[in-house]
Amino acid sequence: MPDPLSAPVTVPAVRAAKRRDGHLPLVMVTAYDAPGARIADAAGVDLILVGDSVANNVLGYEDTLQVTVEDMAHHVAAVARAKPRPLIVADLPWMSYHLDVVDTVRNGATLVRAGAQAVKLEGGSNRVPMVEALLAAEIPVMGHLGLTPQSVHTMGGYKVQGKSDDAAHSLVVDAEALAAAGCFAVVVEGVPEGVGAAITGAVGVPTIGIGAGPACDGQVLVLHDLLGINPTTPRFVRRYAELGAEAVAAVAAYAADVRSGRFPADAEVYH
Ligand code: KIV
């Protein structure tokens, strides 16, 4: 059995980590701050995604369309200050790579200066000029296909994508275009497992799945979902803990101790 990627994780190491070439599945998790980055690092994941899902998971927004490059840079910098071993990938938020390539590169550079080692953007063949411009500026790019949350209004909600033969074929073509343009990996979200497998088989760079089945070259989950901090989670999430409920119980115990006079005790007082 091959070893997980060694420290520190680099873009070329991720690019080479295709399962069919004998590599272990890649492990990516989101983190939005220094404590989250330290947890991901200590747990031995390969990549940290500072996702624009910070919008829903931390900032209280309904969707990811509300976060700006400045918001993302703030959270990327917090993650980077933890100096984690995993590769730090930052999401380019909505409207930061949609206008023109100059704007795209400037926004990518802002995230790199904040501490990102690569950026991720959503979309397929339509994003090839942006991918090429970022790479020309030495900014590594991860693609993101399938259920792309920044397209929530176009998709009519968060719906599984690639269900028809035509839609599945388009996703494979898009993945090939992103890989040919130079993306070092592609996130595949919210597609039937056969589509996840077809995309993974079609491209020479790793696919990292989220709700895309077991054939992908890696998996990504949102930290707040897998830790059970979010009260409800989609079907594809496995909740490895129930920290939300544990946190409520801990704060309730503290409140009860204060009100009953049990806190602070003698050992918790400066004499
Ligand atoms: O922002 C995010 O959390 C993501 C993952 C769902 C892949 O893009």
DSSP string, 128-196: HHHHHHHHHTT--EEEEEES-GGGHHHHTSS-----SHHHHHHHHHHHHHHHHHT-SEEEEES--HHHH
256 & 233 share domain: no
The neighbouring-strand residues paired with 1 are none
Nearest CA to ligand 1 atom 4: 51
Given CA atoms 63, 44, 78, 93 in this order, what sign does their dihedral have?
negative
| Ligand 1 center from residue 11 Cα (angstroms) | 18
The residue type found at 246 is: E
**Residue 186 and residue 264 in one domain:** no
- Residue 5 domain-assigned (yes or no): no
pLDDT reported for residue 1: 46
Q: What is the pTM of this model?
A: 0.97
Looking at the fold, whether 204 and 117 belong to one and the same domain comes out as yes
Q: For a ligand 1 pocket test, name from 29, 30, 97 the mutation site with the most ligand atoms within 8 angstroms of its C-beta.
A: 30
Is residue 155 domain-shared with residue 116, that is, in the same domain? yes
- For 179, the domain range is 11-240
Whether 6 is covered by a domain: the verdict is no
Q: Could you tell me the mean pLDDT of each successive run of 10 residues in the chain, 271 residues long?
A: 79 98 98 98 98 98 98 99 98 98 98 99 98 98 98 98 98 98 98 98 98 98 98 97 98 98 98 94
What is the number of structural domains in the chain? 2
pLDDT digits (tens, 9 = 90+) for 142-197: 999 999 999 999 999 999 999 999 999 999 999 999 999 999 999 999 999 999 99
- Going by alpha carbons, the residue nearest to atom 8 of ligand 1 is 51
Residue 144 lies in a domain: yes
Catalytic residue status for 189: yes
Q: What is the CATH number of the domain that holds 61?
A: 3.20.20.60
How far apart (Å, rounded) are the C-alpha atoms in residues 28 and 26?
7
Distances in Å between the Cα of 193 and the Cα atoms of 186, 187, 190, 201, 222 are 15, 14, 9, 12, 19
Assigned domain for 216 exists: yes
107 lies in the same domain as 141: yes
Q: How far is the CA of 90 from the centre of ligand 1 (A)?
A: 10
What distance in angstroms lies between residue 222's CA and the mean position of ligand 1's atoms?
7
Domain check: are 248 and 166 in the same one? no
Residue 67 falls inside a structural domain? yes
Contact 21, 32 (CB under 8 A): no
Question: Are residue 225 and residue 249 in the same domain, yes or no?
Answer: no
CA distance 140 to 197: 24
* Side-chain half-sphere CA neighbours of 150 within 13 A: 20
- Ligand 1 atom closest to Cα of 208? 7
- Ligand 1 centroid – CA 228 distance (Å): 17
Catalytic residue among 132, 189, 193, 242: 189
Length of the chain: 271
